Amino acid sequence: MAHGKSKYARPFRPLHVNSASVEKMDGTWIVKTVRAGTSIKTYTCPGCQGMIAPGEPHLVAWPATPPIGSSTTIEHRRHWHPDCWRLHH
């Protein structure tokens, strides 16, 4: 793999580490800040559909409770520009 080990080979790391629970109009969200220089992938912000470049500071948010029909919240995790998160939530 070009960017290091497969995520399946890495030790388990709980999502709630260094995160905060945030109450919004659409429910409770777990929000984690990603510092500059720590991400290695490109993400698409759901707020503006713009690119979040590798290494760019941003945040990751996911619902605290799995939506109806889901057994986990992991597939609902999204990477946001901080300003887009504030505008859309």
Supply the pLDDT for residue 45: 98
Whole-angstrom distance, CA of residue 78 vs CA of residue 42: 12
Bridging pattern class, strands 58-63 and 51-52:
unpaired
Supply the pLDDT for residue 10: 53
**pTM for the whole structure:** 0.74
The tens place of each residue's pLDDT in the chain, 89 residues long, gives 455 566 556 555 455 456 788 888 888 999 999 999 999 999 999 999 999 999 999 999 999 988 888 888 888 999 999 999 999 87
